[in-house]
Structure 1
Amino acid sequence: MTTQTQSLALSNNALAMAVSNPGALGTIEAYIGAVNRLPLLSQQQETDLARRLRDDSDLDAARQLVLSHLRLVVSISRQYLGYGIAHADLIQEGNVGLMKAVKRFDPDRGVRLVSFAVHWIKAEIHEYIVRNWRMVKIATTKAQRKLFFNLRRMRPDGHTLDPSQVDDIARELNVRPEDVSEMEVRLSGQEMALEAQHDDADGFAPITYLADEGQEPSRVLERRALDDLQGSGLLNALEGLDERSRRIVEARWLQDEGGATLHELAAEFGVSAERIRQIEAAAFKKMRAALSEE
């Protein structure tokens, strides 16, 4: 058994578990030290293992490809330590991207796995950061994601951008100036707890001044008045009409489906359509007067 094979065999249990949980080896430093001791694969070894995985679905070959590239994930994840997310979490998500890359890798394209995997590792880390950096998702579109991962680096000394700087960044990243300004505002914003965090706080928290306007007394009274008008008020107004006027209003406007036309009611009462329209107008005027007295 070669030295490389022995090293990979010894790593089988501990590091295989650590792929999904970098803290499984005790500390993140222990994990990084362990993956850095794993030997690299030659191009021929990598190609042979990839073919075994592609042609025979050999999971042991996939394991060796993943383990030999864990140090790549560690290296890439260090680039994203400034987002306030634990290094172990970044490595864990990067490992997910590495496994996706191994699954899709084609050894016959003449490209090394390390080059192919970089995109997948970064994509998983990017998605995790965007999803967890703030309680409210800060970037959803492609342009917003591009700005999220570039704007902090491109802002001079972290200061507010002036219009010319906004235009320069928009031109360089091929996005709209409005998108640059909007993302700058989002990055500058801070989350605020709805309620006071401590018992001795001065109470000036959003919960003290944000109100449900729907429960304001005047709104409640308005809804009650509207319900009355649509219920008993309407019935009382209809009862104040003569039989013919009430029949015309009900047939025209209070049917579940397709009210009667002026001509249909004209035929029913033996008068002209214009006369039906006049009766209807007079009935509405009388009903409005009755409702205003409610």
Structure 2
Amino acid sequence: MTDPTSGLLHANRERGAMTFSGWAMLLIALVALFALVGSALSNAGGNGPLWLIGGTPVLVVLFILILRGFYILQPNQAVAILLFGSYRGTDRATGLRWTWPWMSRARISVRANNAISEKLKVNDLRGNPIEIAAQLVWRVTDTAQALFDIDDYRAFVGVQIEAGVRAIGSRYAYDGDEAEVTLRGHHDEVNNALRDELRARLAIAGITVDECGLTHLAYAPEIAGAMLRRQQAEAVVAARAKLVEGAVSMVEMALEQLSARDVVELDDERRAAMVSNLMVVLCGERETQPIVNTGTLYQ
């Protein structure tokens, strides 16, 4: 319902409906049926009491009205009760139920539903095109909002899933350093953010999200090759930096031990040559071939 003074949507809220157990009304229906049969037999014989013969139309109408009020609810199902279009409440009690026959009923499931979004192309925080998809488990918590505040709540869920996934995909970078929350490296944080985003979007429809997460995450095909080469280059640079760091430590340790044990006296030139040879051996990608020097270092 829209307030013309404010233009804001007044959300409906679920409340309990005044309904009855169907078993008690079934007993009354059986009594009316037996009375109707007795009235029919009296009419056929023409010797029944006048009140019984004249009450046949009343019994027929009563029996039909009682039958029209029956409905059955399975577990995790609900029925919204309406009187001439006005919402009168929701019945969630399971089993055989009965309400006034002039009440209309709108059945709705409150069971958990699973939905998987299509693969969407989104620009991440750095503007790189990525492909992203998500799945979520959702259920109706407020039947009045789902039925009367939204035209089609299932279609509404599909649209909001796409909008929420796009919002999360553009909020974070696909990849980055360890201090930055990224789509690829921080699954728990991203999934929690996606769940909060979807809950906020679906609250207007009386729907909550129990679980959600990304099912597909990749660079778009047009940049996938370039990004793969960049990741490989970063991995090579990181590996070489670690290798050089270790090699420098080993060379430093070797020189310190040679000096401490007086194994050999090295001047600056010989020290530089040893450092150069050790760095080549330790940092080279291929095995080195030793060359035996039969002369001196200065020849």
Whether TM-score is above 0.5 comes out as no
TM-score (norm 1): 0.27
TM-score (norm 2): 0.27
Which structure has the larger Rg over C-alpha atoms?
2
More helix by share: 1
